[in-house]
Structures are given as structure tokens and as C-alpha cells.
Amino acid sequence: MNDTIRYVLDEFDLPRAWYNLVSDMPQPPHPPVNPWTGKPLEPTELEALFPRAVIEQEISTEREIPIPDPVRNLYKQWRPSPLYRARRLEQMLDTPARIYYKYEGDSPAGSHKPNTAIPQAFYSKQQGAKRIATETGAGQWGSALAVAGSMLDLEIEVFMVKVSFEQKPYRRAFMESYGATCIASPSEMTEAGRKVLSDDPECRGSLGIAISEAVERTLDSGETNYALGSVLNHVLLHQTVVGQEALKQFDIAGDYPDILIACTGGGSNFGGIVFPFLGRQLRGGEAVKIIAAEPLNCPTLTKGKYAYDFGDTAHLTPLIKMHTLGSGFIPPGFHAGGLRYHGMAPLVSQCTDMGYVEPRAYSQSACFEAGLRFARTEGILPAPEANHAVVAVFEEANRCKLEGVSRAILFNLCGHGHFDMPAYMDYFSGKLHDQQYNEEDLGLALAGLPTVSI
Amino acid sequence: MNDTIRYVLDEFDLPRAWYNLVSDMPQPPHPPVNPWTGKPLEPTELEALFPRAVIEQEISTEREIPIPDPVRNLYKQWRPSPLYRARRLEQMLDTPARIYYKYEGDSPAGSHKPNTAIPQAFYSKQQGAKRIATETGAGQWGSALAVAGSMLDLEIEVFMVKVSFEQKPYRRAFMESYGATCIASPSEMTEAGRKVLSDDPECRGSLGIAISEAVERTLDSGETNYALGSVLNHVLLHQTVVGQEALKQFDIAGDYPDILIACTGGGSNFGGIVFPFLGRQLRGGEAVKIIAAEPLNCPTLTKGKYAYDFGDTAHLTPLIKMHTLGSGFIPPGFHAGGLRYHGMAPLVSQCTDMGYVEPRAYSQSACFEAGLRFARTEGILPAPEANHAVVAVFEEANRCKLEGVSRAILFNLCGHGHFDMPAYMDYFSGKLHDQQYNEEDLGLALAGLPTVSI
């Protein structure tokens, strides 16, 4: 029996800077656009929401952005995270592939999200904020920010989509355990929420409404910042600790990935593991094949359009150039809440548009099946989001077998599934159907994209 | 701000042998007694249940018992586990104490239980078993054995107390994710279960009944072993990887614990962290103050009698000399399922009887309060069982403050609370009452202890 190898780093190997892919991109990013003026957004327009340090990171072109010592010290609670060589899995798949995975499930919130929650909370605190307001859909982001808030002594207010608030009481209890306040959205607490409730008292909420409420709270309550868990450049930047550690661990393993795989929802997990390797390639280093694994039910990169669109359904955000299914697109119900987003991080979209990334979409039943095979072989039960990466790994490992070639495959196991048992229960009970999105709805959503000419 | 330090070991520091405390005890353990003959049990009498290697470990007097390479390799999936210096906690408590904790929550099951599930599964497999039958109350042990079974390709059958089976569907789904079969006990599958159900079709089950069913399945189905998650010597032996690693980590930290704290249910978590340090003391090394933290609702060490008793309520097990509340004692409802046991590991009981261990009992509301303060400072939300250790740590840290003395305190954080959100929710909603056990019931249960004279 070939057994799993765990590559462990000590605290001295924790990166001292985040890596900014923008510095190595052959073309600059497309700027966000103010929907009212049709002109590129001025960074100062964001100051009502985000701390200045975060805005600077959002537009920075520096290659390395130093990680403040207090953030590095808090990272050390669980970082560096382990890299595994999955030799048991290789044997089960009977593949010549060398399969590696980076594991982010040992964080206090059980996912990669604290990598950005902590610096965002730090910069808010540093600038004198007392509170951060945010929204959460499935609950991963709210959980991570709750942990960060408790570590940095900031109040956290989480507007949680009402349907999740009701269906996922454990997620809510987890946030409350860290002292966060969790509010079912739409709520009576904001003008936006009250308006929705007066139109429809039974409204179960949406991420769009929750964003509106969190933004309104931020603007109205003073000493309050807003924080986002994915999509934006600075969020992906913070996640690059993952890929940078993996680079060091590959040095120790004496290997280098031929293929990089990550699941994509808003893009932060993907950017975190991929960008440090892609940057090396862009600087003339080793080339890697990069695969973005997304759900067939919300196929942003495989079926979306690369265009300017709103980041939210309520059209409160700036317009950003990204792969999008249209902000009006509502994916059919499926169990990877972190991947239910109509858009994509602009940087991930740009990389895909330039041909650096091969996107692939997978059905959710294939993902659950792969995730369970992974759990029964490697021991760790993945979050449903991570299962999308696992099924892509199986596909590539099988290709290695068919071609008789040994390639090194690295993927990010972005979180454990301990909070996701209802999803696995639905899979076991056969309740989980691979409902296809409606082509006509997608066509309509895409037809409704705003016109931007800059 | 003083930040948490994480001491990480690499795989070469994973112990090569388990440490057997019996080798250093000044007196031999009291033998288990066959209740039918009143005579010490012959090891061969256990062969219908356990693999021979495990029985040999149960009665061994060797100091070191080598860990087989395949077990060590599977341990490496998450071991060595980290040791933390909780400097943020020290600061929050404003104490001169130096607080350390070993963390077992990064295991695939989220607790320390896989440390013994894996070797037990290994020895069963080695001896040709195809299946392990076991019982589980709260679900931690069943989960760990499910993980071990999937890694070692053994069928796992878990008889889960019906009330837990119904109240904790996520626990069941977790076991099923690893391919284990989970049966609500009492079941129609065994004679024992059928008998209970014919007397009372509405019976919600008990650990005693579940044990009877698992034992019956073991004896009846062939190629099947039984496995226990705590109490027995070999279980505590397997857990000593925890304390041995901590010894190495204290070397690195350049410190040594003055006070050791662990929660006690059946005793395996306690033995795992404490015995390697206690052994050193018994061999003339550094003396440590050892505190066993137990629930006020099930105060085995603080209020029990040190006497021969049955390990189960159905009186199917051998008689063992231990601290016991009487096998008929039923603790009031409380939320640390892993600590709801009327007895105690014989080795832990013997150490307590000899004065090496100071037992203390804590109310569950004090435990939850301490656990939440811990989570909000250190980032990790503890399992309710581990909260008993946390509250004892706070008490000792406060004593250091009052006396103006800096002492090093080590405790074992035996698991995370991600599966225990219902318990935290009950605490938040004020549903959790510190119900006192009934003194009269305890008196009756103790009066019913069997008479053994050997």
C-alpha cells in the first residue's frame, strides 16, 4: 500500500508577502465602471465601503504586497497548511499520475475563507472601524468573517439570505459562537429590507438583497466597513498564500505540477492556488495546464459571456468586466452554495479569456460521487464545492492512465464537508437531481447585459 | 498583542511505539473478572471479540509497544498534531500562566478517536476479519471507526442509540459517507434488539443495548470483530501518541508542564495526553499536577466508588475495577455525549486512587461559557467535551494570577465543535439547565454494585 505523504512547513515558511498577478499580466485589468457615469470608477468612490489599504491593494500593480505582521501572526493559527501527496488515491484510480492536494480545511472556519477575512478585518480595525457588515449565502464567508472579527475584536454583522438562515441553523449558530450577529435578510433593519418586505412579506431573500442591506448598514451606521469574500482583486491577492506555500512544498517534494485544478465560484479559491504558479509561467518559468472546475448548473466560465456586468442582482455594485451569465440568471438549486454566482473574479475571467485557463463544467451527482470516493480513500470528506475539483482530478488522472503518462496534478481541497451533511444526505437519499439550467432563461439573462463603452 | 504559537513536528517525530503506563506503575492493574465464575478473566475468553494483537496489548507489561508501519503511515494523514502556546488566551485571562494545548481536531473525524480506531481496524484486518461491529452514543466513536474502516477496507456496522440516530442525522450521514452502515438500536437485526422491541416497541435505546447488539453481531456473523472506543487499556495505549508528541513539542518550546489537564469520559483522551508525562514522573522525572475534568452531572471520579462493576448497563461485559457511579446510574441530560459514562478506564481509576490525579467536576453552563471565550480568543470552537478541560484551565490560570506565579499548563483540545452546533444552540437559547443528578438515584446505583472477592 502506498500511503499518503503530508508535507508540513514551519512558520518561517509562511509567506511574507501576497503575490499580485496583475504585475505579471501582459495586459492591465479592465477597470471597474461606475454605472451612473459610464466612466472608470475612481478608487476614492470605494472609500465609504472599504478601508484605504484594501482599495490600494485592489488597484495595485506591485508584484509583492507585504503581509502585515499581525496578520501573519494570526495566519499562524493554522498556516502554513499541509500539502498532501495522495498516493492512496493514485493507487485506487490505478493511475500513473502523481496527485497532490493542498488542504485548507484545518482553518478555524474549515475553509480557505479566513485567508482574506483576517486581513480585511485587520485593515478595517487599523483604520478605526468598529464593525464590519457583510452578506452570506451558504454561510462559509460569514463564518470566516465571524472568526476574524472575534480575533481582532470587531463587531461582525452578517446579513444571511433568509432561506439559508432557516435551512442552516448550524451555520448561524457557528457565527454566533464567535460573537457575530446574524440577521435574516430581508430584514426590518434597513430601508432596502423594509421595502422588499412591504412588497412581499414572505420573501425568502437573495444574495442581491443581502448585499443591499449590508451596504446600507455600512453607509448608515458609521465606523463600519463592508467586506466581500470573493471576486475582487484584493480578495484573490490574500488567497495567494495558498499557492505560494504550495510552491515551497513542491520544492521539498522535488516535483512541480503539470496540471493545476481548482473549483471556481467567485474565483478566490482558484486565484489563491493558481496565481503564484501562473505568475511563474508568465515570467518565463514552467508552463502549467490550468483547469477551472465549475458546476454545470452555473457554468459561468464555460457558457457565460466575457462582458461588463453588475456584481449583484440588485445592480448596486460597479460594473466589472468578467465572465457572467447575466446578473438576472438564477441557477437551479444545487448543493455547492459557494459556487452559485452568476459572475466571476475579473482576474480569473481575464486569464480565461487570454487562454491561460481551461474551464470545465461538471454535474453535481458526478461531483458527489467523486467526493465520496476521495473521502473513502484519503480520509477527508470534502466540501461540495471542492468536489468539483476532485472530479476534474479524476478525469485528468484517468487521461494519464489512458495515455500511459505520469503527470503531476495539484488541486486545492478548499474545505471540509463537516458543515455540509444535509447535502450529502440528499445525495444518499436520491433527492439530488441534475437539474439543467433553462437555456432560454440564460439567453434572456445574457441579452440583458448592460452596454458599456470605455 | 501576543500571538498564538503553533509547534509543528514533521513525520519523523511521529512516535514509533505506544507507551504502556502499566510498565511504570508501582502496582499491577486489577484484573478483569468473569462475572459467571468470579475469577480473573482468561485472555483467551476475549478472542471471540477482539483480535489477538489487541488482547496482548490489553494485558502487556512492556513499556513500549511498536506501532506497525501501516498504522504509522495512516497516522501521518493528520499526525503529528500541533501543540499551541495560547498566548492570546493568556493575555485575555491576564494570567502569568503559560498555557499550551495539543489539538486533535485536525483528524479526519475531527477528534482524537481515530488514534485508536485505525490500529484496531488494522489488527482486525490483519487477522482476517471482514467486518467490525461497534456501538456509538453521541457518534464520535462511530465516525472515527467509519473513517478507519474506509481506509483499511473493512465493513463497519455501527449500532447507534436510537435517540441519537434520530436527533443527530448529520452524524449518521458522516458515517455513511465513509461507507459505514448505521443501525438504530434497538434493531430487528439481533436477538437482543428484538427482545427489547417486543417488550417496548417505542424504546429509544441505550448504550447498554447497543453494546449487546454489537457483541451479538460479532459473535454470530463470523469474520467479525468488535471494537471499543475508550475505557480499555489498549485504547488508552493507542492514544499515547498524543502525549508523546507533546513531550517532543515541549522540548522544542524549551518548557515543561507544571499542570496537565484533560476531560474524562471513558478515559481515553485523558490517558492519551497524561500517561507519557505521568510515566516520566513515575520513573523519577519531573513531577506534574494532573487534573481530570469531568461533568458535574456524571461525576465518576469525584463521586463514584472505586470498585468492581460492569462496563455496561446490560451486564454483558466482564467486571472491571474502576471508579463507577453504578451501572444503573443514568445521568441527567447534558450535552457532552462523550462524557456520559457511569464508569472510568481502570488505569485512570487506579492512578486516581493512588493520588496521582486530582479529579474536578464542572457544570455544563460553566463549560460552554469557557469554551466560547476560548473560541473567541484562540479561534477554534471546542467540542463540548473539551470545554470541561478549558474551564479547568481557566481555574488554574486564575490561581496563577492570584498567587502571582507563572506555571505551564497543558491541556488536550480533543476535538472541534463543528458537529456540535445543536448543543451550542441550546446554550444560546437558554434551554440548557444545570440539572443536578439525583442523590438518591446515585445512592441506589452504588448500593447495587456487584460483590467481587479475588
Contacts of B428 in chain A (CB under 8 A): 173, 176
Q: What is the DSSP string of A354-404?
A: TTSEEEEEE-HHHHHHHHHHHHHHHS--B-HHHHHHHHHHHHHHHHHHHHT
- Answer whether B164's CB lies under 8 Å from B137's CB: yes
Residues A162-177 have a mean pLDDT of 91
In this complex, is the C-beta atom of A256 within 8 Å of any C-beta atom belonging to chain B? no
**pTM score > 0.90 for this model?**
yes
B318 touches chain A (CB under 8 A): no
CA dihedral B234, B235, B240, B243 (to 10 degrees): -150
- Higher pLDDT: A314 or A450? It is A450
Q: In which residue are the cell numbers 489498549 written? A: B234
Q: Are B298 and B334 in contact (CB under 8 A)?
A: yes
C-alpha A435: how far from chain center? 23
The more confidently predicted of residues B261 and A167 is B261
Q: B74 and A3 in contact by Cβ < 8 A?
A: yes
Q: Is the ipTM of this complex over 0.90?
A: yes
pLDDT in the model for residue B1: 57
* A366-382: average pLDDT: 97
Closest CA to A98 of A107, A106, A88: A88
Mean pLDDT check: name the lowest of B82-96, B133-147, B208-222: B208-222
Residue B8 near chain A (CB below 8 Å): yes
Residues 377-406 of B with CB under 8 A from A: 377-381
Q: Is B417 an 8 Å CB contact of chain A?
A: yes
Which residue type does A168 have?
Answer: K
Question: Of A403-417, B351-365, B435-449, which gets the smallest average pLDDT?
Answer: B435-449
- In this predicted structure, the answer to whether residue A273 has a pLDDT above a threshold of 70 is yes
Pick B419's closest partner by Cβ from A6, A169, A418. Answer: A418
Q: Determine which of A3, A378, A431 to mutate to test the interface with B (most B C-beta atoms within 10 Å).
A: A3
Rg (CA), chain B: 21
CB-based contact, B170 to chain A, within 8 Å: yes
Q: What is the pLDDT of residue B232?
A: 96
Tens-place pLDDT, residues A276-299: 999 999 999 999 999 999 999 999
A contacts of B249 (beta carbons < 8 Å): none
Q: Which residues of chain A does B70 touch, with a Cβ-Cβ cutoff of 8 Å?
A: 1, 3
Q: pLDDT tens digits, residue range A345-360?
A: 999 999 999 999 999 9
Are β-strands A408-413 and A98-103 bridged in parallel, bridged antiparallel, or unpaired? parallel
Rounded CA gap, B386 and B128, in Å?
Answer: 36
B409 has pLDDT over 60: yes
Cell representation of residue A410: 495539484
With 0-12 CB in 10 A as exposed, 13-18 as middle and 19+ as buried, what is B121? buried
CB of B92 less than 8 A from some CB of A: no
A108:B379 CB<8 A? yes
Is B429 in CB contact (< 8 Å) with chain A? no
What DSSP state is assigned to residue A146?
A: H
Say if the Cβ atoms of A375 and B417 lie within 8 Å.
no
Q: How many beta-carbon pairs under 8 angstroms link A with B? A: 128
With bands split at pLDDT 50, 70 and 90, how would you rate the model's confidence at B116? very high
Q: Do B376 and A4 touch (CB under 8 A)?
A: no
Query: How far is residue B188 CA from its own chain's centroid?
Result: 29
Average pLDDT of the residues in B21-29: 97
What pLDDT score was predicted for residue A409? 98
* Chain A residues touching B146 at Cβ < 8 A: none
| pLDDT tens digits, A118-127 | 999 999 999 9
Question: Do residues A58 and A232 make contact, with C-beta atoms less than 8 angstroms apart?
Answer: yes
- For the cut 90, the answer to whether the pLDDT of residue A216 exceeds it is yes
What is the CB neighbour count within 10 angstroms for residue B244?
Answer: 23
pLDDT given for residue A206 in this prediction:
85
With cut-offs at 50, 70 and 90, classify the pLDDT of residue B381: very high
Q: What is the pLDDT of residue A13?
A: 95
Please tell me the predicted confidence (pLDDT) of residue A313.
Answer: 79
Strands A131-136 and A155-161: parallel
B150/A375 CB distance under 8 A: yes
- Are A138 and A171 spatial neighbours (Cβ–Cβ below 8 Å)? yes
**pLDDT over 90 (residue A333):** no
The 10s digit of each residue's pLDDT in B293-331 is 999 999 999 999 999 999 887 788 899 999 999 988 888
Q: Distances in Å between the alpha carbon of B355 and those of A34, B102, B350, B359?
A: 73, 24, 9, 10
Cis peptide before B80 (omega within 30 of 0): yes
> Residue B173 pLDDT more than 90?
yes
Q: Spell out which residues of chain A touch residue B10, defining contact as CB-CB under 8 Å.
A: 8
Q: Which string of b and e fits B333-354 if b means at least 16 CB within 10 Å?
A: ebbbbbbbbbbbbbbbbbbbbe
CB pair distance less than 8 Å for A3 and B418: no
- % of chain B surpassing 90 pLDDT: 85
